[in-house]
Amino acid sequence: MLIILSGVEPISGRRCIKGVSTREGTPEGGCTVVEGGGFVVDEAAVIARVRAGEPEAYAELVRAHTNVALRAAVAFGAGADAEDVVQSAFLKAYQSLGRFRDGAAFRPWLLRIVVNETRNTVRSAVRLRALAGREALLLGSEPLIPESADPAVAAVAEERKALLRAALDELSEEQRQVVTYRYLLEMDEAETAEALGWPRGTVKSRLNRGLRKLGRLLPGLLPGKGGEEQ
């Protein structure tokens, strides 16, 4: 799909010099395991190879992070332009590797670039495209209902999706961002803080306010008590 992946073979085996991650995008000692358990990338080693004059090694990072980058682009409104946004973000990240901080996690840094590229794209698009992008993410993040399922169950599931989409649009931009990172992109608190460039305390407070508001808007779907709206 992405040009930079052309001709690159997966890394064999599942060993990593600095440790093995247990899920996609959760670096442990600089390692990332691709969704589905395909192979493990030692991010620090790959970046060092690229900086040392082996640009083809960058494809390993692209392969490891393409799925989450696409999900982030769609979540923030790229819609049909998501692949172009991700392609551009990977190229900009490659060009900026000289400024990448040693020891930092690659995924949050990359997703900041993806989100910035998405915003630039959305600014020139109609608002309906952004809404359609968020809807596509929500539909794609849940299990598909099999054709044999009870029609009544399917109808209830579709109604809940519609309610959730509408409720997300009622959040402030900051609350929608932090809820998206934490629950739709499945990033932990530290990764979310790094990706958004916020202190962890800010992530906690905005997430709590966002969840409380969602709880008030969707009292039958989300657990917890609503608080004062802020």
190-201: per-residue pLDDT in tens?
999 999 999 999
Residues 179 and 215 in one domain: yes
Contact 171, 210 (CB under 8 A): yes
Helix (H, G, I), strand (E, B) or coil at 198: coil
The 10s digit of each residue's pLDDT in 57-66 is: 999 999 999 9
Helix (H, G, I), strand (E, B) or coil at 33: strand
Backbone φ and ψ of 41, nearest 5°: -115, 130
Distance between CA atoms of residues 163 and 59, nearest Å: 39
38 domain-assigned: yes
pTM: 0.64
Residues 22 and 56 in one domain: yes
226 domain-assigned: no
Q: What is the mean pLDDT of residues 90-109?
A: 94
Residues 126 and 23 in one domain: yes
Domain range enclosing 146:
142-221
Distance between CA atoms of residues 210 and 177, nearest Å: 10
Residues 59 and 24 in one domain: yes
Contact 68, 140 (CB under 8 A): no
Q: What's 18's domain CATH number?
A: 1.10.1740.10
Residues 42 and 108 in one domain: yes
Residue 164's nearest CA partner among 220, 224, 230 is 220
Residues 108 and 56 in one domain: yes
Q: Which residue has better confidence, 44 or 2?
A: 44
Residues 123 and 28 in one domain: yes
The domain total for the chain is 2
Q: What's 181's domain CATH number?
A: 1.10.10.10
Q: What's the longest Cα–Cα distance across the chain? A: 59
Residues 154 and 126 in one domain: no
- Burial (Cβ within 10 Å: 0-12, 13-18, ≥19) of residue 134: buried
Q: Which of 114, 141, 168 is the last residue of a domain?
A: 141
Residues 77 and 168 in one domain: no
7 domain-assigned: no
4 domain-assigned: no
5 domain-assigned: no
Residues 132 and 31 in one domain: yes
Looking at residue 5, what is its pLDDT?
42
What are the start-end ranges of the E strands in 17-103? Answer: 31-33, 40-42
| Length of the chain measured in residues | 230
Report strand pairing: 40-42 vs 31-33: antiparallel
